[in-house]
Amino acid sequence: MMLAIWDDGGWQDLLTLAGIAFGAYLIVMWIAALMWAYRDVQARTRDQLTQMMALLLVAVLNLPGLLIYLVLRPKQTLADMYDRQLEAEALLHELQEQATCPACRRKISDDFLACPYCRSALRTPCESCARPMMSSWVLCPYCGADRPTDEPVHHRAAFDDESAPDDATMAAPQRRANTARYTPAAPKPADPAGGPGR
């Protein structure tokens, strides 16, 4: 029976049909590779020149061009780069929110009264509940107690009645002794040509 198909020319028709099917398969694969490369390069870069070069590479060289594109394409998609950028910004925001010592700029906890690195005073404890209070607060937010106001120290109370200075000496600021000294100017060098100085 196979010999009958071969003799009648049916075998040639079968080969032609297989060739057409294979050609159609290659065209479909070529179009699919072009569409995949277009979508992939759109997801990986916004640069128009790079997108056109990738499409031309796949369009001209077909499957070998697709393999070359796979080697040369950007590693990350735009969505991946956006996610990484968001992660980095979130981490940076978290680091910036953490309190730092105003003196040495090291990270500290919010409830520290003093910096453990440089010993600078950060907060004062509340007299009622002993919780840390910022220096700018006028009352404790934890217990509602008013912060005691620092009253100015009167200099008169420090003196007894006999040695109390009068108002004129109290108001006059004290002057420091002048420690500047006179330094004479350096002598000018003599004119070697024997100018009018002689």
Give tens-digit pLDDT for 92-130.
887 777 788 888 888 888 778 888 889 888 888 888 888
pLDDT, position 175: 53
Q: Fill in the DSSP letter of residue 166.
A: P
Would you place residue 67 in the very low, low, confident or very high pLDDT band (cuts 50, 70, 90)? Answer: very high
Would you place residue 142 in the very low, low, confident or very high pLDDT band (cuts 50, 70, 90)? Answer: confident
Closest CA to 29 of 52, 57, 58: 58
Would you place residue 1 in the very low, low, confident or very high pLDDT band (cuts 50, 70, 90)? Answer: very low
Q: Fill in the DSSP letter of residue 105.
A: -
Length of the chain: 198
pLDDT, position 136: 77
Cα 84 to Cα 166: distance, rounded to the nearest angstrom: 73
Cα 114 to Cα 102: distance, rounded to the nearest angstrom: 11
Domain edges within the chain: 11-76, 97-149
Residue 132: strand, helix, or coil: strand
Pairing of strands 132-133, 124-125: antiparallel
